[in-house]
């Protein structure tokens, strides 16, 4: 009997960085598995995630946000029929994972996150590392239910490339990651592109590339280039060649929208904001410059209800600026590699910044290729232990799914 697994996921980052490698590995273990991918509410969802999931996994059943809402209202939804199997949480509010598991009759597992109120809701607690394992146990997870599998992002990157870059490969481009959320793309694409072009002009033999989320539309990209945000500045440009190239200041800049990390693998330096993209670059041993601009804090991406404060009339924007500054001061490091290493492996530029500020730091970094290579080596070593994380998780999840499928009568006897 094929194993059944339901995967709860929310936004674009979780789909590509967590669900993609996990489902790949699950199918590798059981090609006939019954896989359902459920999209639970997410304020950063673009609406294109279900289509992307179906393209990645044609045999899987995809439950869209609207279909999930119907499920919550008690209506029948394909892929959500009651019956034995496993549920793997890979993003969103834990409430949704628990609700789905309870209604459908699944054994639930979580990854990275839990809370004391959910300690008895999951049969497995998968951890990114030992520190995360301790956090899960501190929230009530039974010690024998915690499994340290590693960071799934490592497999998301390595399994998507035809061949990873050779060790110590210097790279020949500056790759910018403006972010996948519409406000980030609108503000940061012209901002980062301007900084990268300034840097390339001062660095012989260096080209520029842009890595854009496959969930960003042509119109979103084109609009950001037509009218840069005055709070950030940046260069104007035009999207051409069917969305594969940006022309700015007479320079043709390659746009990678594949989600396969090809542009990242060729980079000498990656310029990005904090987030999953920093881990993706680190896995490939690419040197990083992490930028945390304070130029427009009332539109900063914040967790929870704070992310919506700017919509409140009169007091909302000042409150959100104050909250964003308070949030930033709480953290010694913002870049995930620095957090994971417990030390500053990569530089973080914080404050009200101009493209020239970023370009100056980028030029200084590119001028010291020995230091760049050392940074890349240390970054790749930091995440080397995570290779195979999705396979370790999938093996455990398959065992749970098969155990759940044993006839109830046999268990009763």
Q: What is the pTM of this model?
A: 0.89
Asked if the structure places residue 160 within a domain, the reply is no
Asked if the structure places residue 162 within a domain, the reply is no
Residues 70 and 208 in one domain: no
Asked if the structure places residue 16 within a domain, the reply is yes
Residues 394 and 358 in one domain: no
What pLDDT is recorded for position 400? 98
Asked if the structure places residue 66 within a domain, the reply is yes
Residue ranges of the chain whose pLDDT lies below 50: 408-409, 411-413
Asked if the structure places residue 334 within a domain, the reply is yes
Residues 82 and 184 in one domain: no
What pLDDT is recorded for position 315? 63
Residues 109 and 182 in one domain: no
| Domain housing 361 | 173-384
Residues 203 and 282 in one domain: yes
**Neighbour count for residue 311 (Cβ, 10 Å):** 9
The CATH number that applies at residue 141 is 3.40.50.2000
Residues 276 and 200 in one domain: yes
Indicate the number of domains in the chain: 2
| Distance between CA atoms of residues 73 and 68, nearest Å | 9
Asked if the structure places residue 330 within a domain, the reply is yes
Asked if the structure places residue 299 within a domain, the reply is yes
What pLDDT is recorded for position 327? 63
* Token pair 């427009």 in the structure block, residue: 296
Residues 58 and 187 in one domain: no
Residues 177 and 131 in one domain: no
Asked if the structure places residue 44 within a domain, the reply is yes
What pLDDT is recorded for position 314? 67
Residues 186 and 201 in one domain: yes
Residues 367 and 394 in one domain: no
SS (H, E, C) the chain: CCCEEEEEECCHHHHHHHHHHHHHHHHHHCCCCEEEEEECCCCCCCCCHHHHHHHHCCCCEEECHHHHHHHHCCCCCCCCCCCCCEEEECCCCHHHHHHHHHHHCCEEEEECCCCHHHCCCCCEEEECCHHHHHHHHHCCCCHHHEEECCCHHHHHHHCCCCCCCCCCCCCCEEEEECCCCHHHHHHHHHHHHHHHHHHHHCCCCCEEEEECCCCCCHHHHHHHHHCCCCCCCCCCCEEEHHHCEEEECCEEEEEECCCCCHHHHCEEEEEECCCHHHHHHHHCCCEEEEEEECCCHHHCCCCHHHHHHHHCCCCHHHHHHHHHHHHHHCCCCCCHHHHHHCCCCCCEEEECCCHHHHHHHHHHHHHCHHHHHHHHHHHHHHHHCCCCHHHHHHHHHHHHHHHHCCCHHHHHC
| Cα 100-105-110 angle, rounded to 5 deg | 55
Residues 227 and 104 in one domain: no
Residues 138 and 220 in one domain: no
């Amino acid at each position: 009997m094929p194993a059944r697994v339901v995967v709860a996921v929310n936004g674009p980052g979780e789909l590509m960085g967590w669900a993609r490698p996990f489902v790949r590995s699950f199918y590798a273990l059981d090609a006939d598995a019954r896989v359902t991918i459920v999209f639970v509410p997410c304020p950063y969802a673009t609406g294109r995630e279900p289509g992307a999931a179906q393209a990645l996994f044609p045999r899987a059943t995809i439950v869209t946000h609207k279909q999930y809402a119907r499920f919550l209202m008690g209506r029948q939804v394909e892929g959500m029929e009651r019956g034995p199997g496993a549920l793997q949480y890979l993003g969103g509010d834990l409430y949704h994972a628990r609700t789905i598991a309870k209604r459908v009759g699944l054994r639930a597992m979580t990854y990275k996150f839990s809370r004391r109120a959910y300690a008895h809701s999951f049969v497995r607690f998968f951890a990114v590392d030992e520190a995360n394992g301790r956090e899960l146990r501190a929230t009530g997870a039974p010690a024998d239910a915690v499994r340290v599998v590693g960071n799934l992002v490592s497999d998301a990157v390595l399994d998507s490339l035809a061949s990873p870059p050779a060790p110590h490969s210097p790279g020949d481009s500056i790759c910018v990651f403006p972010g996948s959320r519409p406000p980030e793309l609108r503000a940061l694409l012209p901002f980062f592109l301007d900084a990268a072009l300034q840097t390339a002009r001062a660095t012989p033999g260096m080209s520029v590339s842009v890595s854009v989320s496959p969930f960003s539309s042509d119109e979103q990209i084109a609009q950001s280039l037509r009218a840069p945000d005055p709070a950030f500045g940046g260069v104007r440009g035009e999207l051409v060649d069917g969305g594969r190239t940006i022309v700015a200041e007479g320079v043709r800049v390659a746009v990678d929208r594949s989600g396969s990390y090809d542009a990242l693998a060729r980079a000498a330096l990656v310029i990005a904001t904090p987030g999953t993209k920093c881990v993706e670059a680190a896995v490939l041993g690419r040197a990083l410059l992490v930028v945390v601009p304070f130029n427009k804090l009332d539109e900063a991406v914040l967790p929870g209800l704070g992310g919506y404060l700017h919509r409140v009339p009169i007091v909302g924007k000042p409150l959100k600026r104050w909250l964003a500054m308070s949030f930033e001061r709480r953290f010694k490091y913002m870049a995930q590699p620095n957090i994971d290493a417990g030390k500053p492996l990569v530089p973080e530029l914080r404050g009200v910044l101009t493209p020239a500020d970023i370009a100056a730091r980028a030029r200084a970094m590119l001028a010291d290729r020995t230091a760049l290579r050392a940074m890349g080596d240390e970054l790749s070593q930091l995440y080397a232990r995570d290779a195979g994380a999705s396979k370790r998780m999938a093996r455990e999840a398959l065992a749970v799914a098969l155990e759940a499928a044993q006839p109830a009568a046999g268990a009763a006897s």
